[in-house]
A and B are shown apart, each in its own frame.
Chain A
Amino acid sequence: MNRNLTVEIKDIGKSYRGVKILKDCSYVFEKGRMHALIGPNGSGKSTLLRICGLIEIPDKGQITYYENNHAVEHTIELRRRISMVFSKDGLFNTTVFKNASYGLKVRGTGFRARHGRVKEILKTVGLWEKRKQSAKTLSAGEGQRLAIARSLVIDPEIIFLDEPTASLDPANTALIENIIKKLIRDTHKTVIMATHNMFQAQRLSDRIIFMHEGELYDEGLTDDFFERPKNEIAYQFLSGKLIY
């Protein structure tokens, strides 16, 4: 598959009921890199992520997907080249297998091909033995593993992760982080992850984008950002002094 899809946002603004959630956010995400959007709760990370992932529409500004320097239209074909995992697992009321194979089914992939691919991914995330079980019977950690597996089955070029471990205990968080490292980062997919956990961002990402009150305040390579934050508010956030 041609894997040259990149995404760029320009002057993105969004308000809910008169409250500005995002203010003129612009950024060019690098291909094959893992980006972490960090910032306190309510800084606009999730909204920005949903807008980038074409789940929500901004009030102003543009999201442009490029392939070989040509803008790609926002069609269903483009949406099928990207994927998103939400903080709530959003699992369907059916079996683990059917959840995992949904993305392939909607693309018209035949059962045999679906079965092979789903088996491979479910084995990797340790859920193959539970494939016939109702997804609603899974624990929170298993549910989130399935949610990640489900979005990886379709082999997206860009994957958006919205607080993927927000509701998990430390053991499950470690498990999910390992899956993210092994199946996403190491396969050189472009990843954009929103997290309020700065240590997680430090462990997983190549680049950090710091958000506060709907604005992109600071950005940089992960090590640089954590060692030398360029911005006073980012420094306060890192040192735990930012009260929100």
Chain B
Amino acid sequence: MYNPNMALLIEGFQRAFSLLVHLDPELLGIIYLSMKVSGLALCIAAISGIPLGAVIGLRRFFGKGLVVSILNTFMGLPPVVVGLFLYLILSRSGPMGFMGLLYSPTAMIMAQIILALPIIIALSLAAVTSVDETVKQSAQALGATSGQISYLVINEARYSIMAAVIAAFGRVIAEVGAVLIVGGNIAGYTRVMTTTIALETDKGDFELALALGIVLLAISLIVNAGLHLIQKKGVRS
């Protein structure tokens, strides 16, 4: 029996594959911007988050339990809430409104940093905390300074830390709420994969949405495969 919705879906898939096969410039532009925004956000979050997580994990200080609880809570920050807060800060009347960053890729990067940072800090912290105490004590007994011990511990936890970075990437590349609010979904400027999918689905033009959906799924698959490989290597070594 003929089902018009099914036919629409099949046609959408056919056109999506055609866009992918022919390397449609619009499609490529959107993928490039997505990777650029999420990649930069991830780099900044990793550079600042890994040492911060290591420091919190290695030091003893008053209120550490509270800090860890807050970080764990922030790991599940709803992207729309992050988008809303950043919007209020970056909007013309907000404290950073004078910088004119709203509806720019920079604002999107800022939003994704806020989303990635707690994941990287909290998981790096857990990674360094799980390093065997005897390893730290052995380094100390062999004459390492506290800085050298910290470096060694981060190195020992490298596979878990890499997994933390990949988990954060999986979160930011797939989120839509925050980038939509602070990026505005401007074609050719702030339109990324997830916001395009939302917009095109709203319009009923499924081919571009489906093509991007396939790319997102492929990225997700690669990320998860990478995570699996890293974890396997970590267990084996």
| A residues whose Cβ falls under 8 Å from a Cβ of B | 50, 53, 55, 76, 79-80, 82-86, 88-94, 102-103, 106-107, 134, 136, 147, 150-151, 154, 160
Contact = CB atoms under 8 A, between A and B. Distances in A.
Contacts of A147: 138
Given A55-B140, A93-B156, A102-B142, A136 B135 contact: no
B152 interface: yes
B159 to A, nearest CB: 9
Given A88-B134, A136-B237, A151-B141, 17 more contacts: A50-B137, A53-B141, A55-B137, A55-B140, A83-B141, A83-B143, A84-B141, A85-B141, A86-B138, A88-B132, A90-B135, A92-B156, A102-B152, A106-B142, A150-B138, A151-B142, A154-B143
Contacts of A76: 143, 145
A90 B153 CA distance: 12
Interface string B99-127: 00000000000000000000000000000
B132 A107 contact: no
Nearest to A81: B143
Contact of B143 (A85, A93, A94, A106): A106
A134 B156 CA distance: 13
Contacts of A94: 155
Given A134-B237, A136-B237, A90 B145 contact: no
Contacts of A88: 132, 134
A103 B120 CA distance: 31
29 contacts: A55-B137, A55-B141, A76-B143, A76-B145, A79-B140, A82-B141, A83-B143, A84-B137, A84-B138, A85-B141, A86-B134, A86-B138, A86-B141, A90-B135, A90-B137, A90-B138, A92-B155, A102-B139, A102-B152, A103-B142, A106-B142, A106-B143, A106-B144, A106-B145, A106-B148, A147-B138, A150-B138, A151-B141, A151-B142
Nearest to A150: B142
A83 B141 CA distance: 5
Judged by DSSP, the binding face of A is mixed
Contacts of B144: 102, 106
Contact of A90 (B132, B143, B148): B132
A91 B142 CA distance: 12
Contacts of B148: 106
Given A90-B132, A92-B152, A106-B148, A154 B142 contact: yes
Contacts of A151: 141-142
Interface in B129-187: 132, 134-135, 137-145, 148, 152, 155-156
A76 B237 CA distance: 31
